[in-house]
């Protein structure tokens, strides 16, 4: 199951030709398959199989209409201190040799030359970003809390499909105001609940800047919390639960810290515990169970978020 989620509302996904079946989707994604960074490149990204148990040319796993895809990002980040020293040494060398000062434009050119020289020897870091495409619910869920990484995945998906009519889920009411009222009234909507000893982040923005108070394992209905809310603070993050999962939601509607409840975890395990499969076959069976039950749980959460904050959806 995804541990975090960015929700993107889509349009008429069941009519998208690329989502006809797993083979069609995989063939489309193969055109933008991941390739290693070239010697002079700082970044490379593309699609990879969602599981090591899958074949190299399988770029999607689709179960009951829901598709799991994975973006891999390779980045070469030159340490700032190393680049700064190399640049400083080069500038000193030129100024001593030519008896002249190196100015801004030349410094920029020298910096670019040094970066090109250092990149082939720079260690690569790799990031994977998963996404669930759920046509029946017209939503794409990206498993990341970085807007940049989520947009990178969507932009490549747009290049892959040629078009991508999606938009980040937008509230029709202020989530901070709605969540604050839950604590003021000491009552949660029927869709979700929270422990009395819970976790919440309160934020106040005024002329002096932004002030944040983070409470963990605290009495969220305490008078002190209500005093903070009355003084202008708002709930910008709170730990909640529904029948399928525990999670934390921000006022941006980004969800993190997702954990299945014991009931859902047992249901996932039950899908494979009596299986005779082994090795990759067993891993794929577990992945399929995760997609089926995880997608249902995440779709349920998406529906609840729409009900609570997106009244026009």
Question: What percent of the chain is predicted at pLDDT more than 70?
Answer: 98
Residue 313 pLDDT grade (very low, low, confident, very high; cuts 50, 70, 90): very low
pLDDT of residue 299: 96
Answer yes or no: is pLDDT of 13 > 70.
yes
pLDDT of residue 312: 54
Q: Which residues pair with 193 in a beta bridge?
A: 241
Which uninterrupted H or E stretch holds 283? helix 279-309
* Structure confidence by residue, pLDDT tens digits, 25-71: 999 999 999 999 887 788 999 999 999 999 999 999 999 999 999 99
pLDDT of residue 274: 66
Mean pLDDT, range 178-188, rounded to an integer: 96
pLDDT of residue 123: 87
What pTM value is reported for the model? Answer: 0.86
Minimum mean pLDDT among 18-22, 178-182, 196-200: which range?
196-200
Average pLDDT value for the chain: 92
pLDDT of residue 229: 96
Task: Give 255's DSSP letter.
Answer: E
- DSSP codes, the chain: --SSBEEEEES-GGG-GGGS-HHHHHHHHHTTB--PPPTT-SEEEEEE-SSTTS-TT---EEETTEEEEEEEEEEE---HHHHHHHHHHHHHHHHHHHTS---HHHHHHHHHHHHHHHGGGSPEEEEEEEEEEEGGGTEEEES-S-HHHHHHHHHHHHHHHS---EEE---SS-HHHHHHHHHHHT---TT-B--SEEEEEEEEEETTEEEEEEEEEEETTSHHHHHHHHTT-EEEEEEEE-SSEEEEEETT--EEEEEE-HHHHHHHHHTTTT----HHHHHHHHHHHHHHHHHHHHHHHHHHHHHHH-TT-
Q: Which of 76-85, 118-127, 226-235 has the highest mean pLDDT?
A: 226-235
* Structure confidence by residue, pLDDT tens digits, 184-199: 999 999 989 998 789 9
Mean pLDDT, range 157-177, rounded to an integer: 94
Mean pLDDT, range 255-270, rounded to an integer: 91
Mean pLDDT, range 69-86, rounded to an integer: 92
* Structure confidence by residue, pLDDT tens digits, 134-144: 999 999 999 98
* Structure confidence by residue, pLDDT tens digits, 282-310: 899 899 999 999 999 999 999 999 999 99
């Amino acid at each position: 199951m995804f541990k975090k989620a960015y929700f993107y509302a889509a349009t008429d996904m069941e009519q998208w030709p690329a989502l006809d079946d797993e083979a069609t989707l995989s063939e489309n994604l193969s055109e933008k398959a991941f390739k290693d960074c070239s010697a002079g490149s700082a970044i490379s990204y593309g699609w990879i199989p969602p599981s090591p148990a899958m074949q190299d040319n399988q770029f999607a796993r689709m179960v009951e209409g829901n598709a799991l895809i994975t973006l891999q990002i390779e980045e070469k980040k030159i340490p700032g201190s190393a680049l700064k020293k190399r640049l400083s040494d080069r500038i000193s060398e030129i100024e001593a040799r030519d008896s002249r000062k190196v100015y801004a434009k030349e410094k920029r050119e020298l910096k670019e030359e040094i970066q090109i020289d250092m990149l082939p020897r720079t260690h690569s870091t790799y990031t994977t970003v998963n996404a669930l495409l759920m046509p029946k619910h017209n939503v794409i869920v990206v498993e990341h809390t970085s807007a940049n990484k989520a947009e990178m995945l969507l932009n490549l998906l747009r290049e892959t499909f040629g078009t991508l009519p999606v938009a980040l889920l937008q509230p029709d009411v202020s989530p901070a105001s709605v969540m604050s009222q839950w604590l003021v009234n000491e009552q949660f909507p029927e869709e979700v609940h929270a422990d009395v000893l819970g976790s919440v982040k309160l934020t106040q923005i005024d002329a002096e800047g932004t002030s944040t108070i983070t409470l963990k394992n605290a009495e969220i209905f305490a008078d002190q919390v209500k005093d903070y809310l009355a003084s202008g603070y708002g709930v910008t993050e709170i730990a909640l639960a529904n029948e399928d999962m525990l999670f934390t939601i921000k006022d941006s509607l980004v969800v993190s810290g997702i954990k299945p409840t014991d009931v859902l975890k047992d249901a996932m395990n039950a899908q494979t515990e009596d299986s005779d499969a082994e090795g990759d076959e067993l891993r794929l069976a577990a992945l399929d169970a995760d997609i089926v039950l995880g997608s249902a749980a995440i779709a349920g959460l998406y529906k609840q978020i729409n009900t609570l904050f997106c009244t026009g959806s």
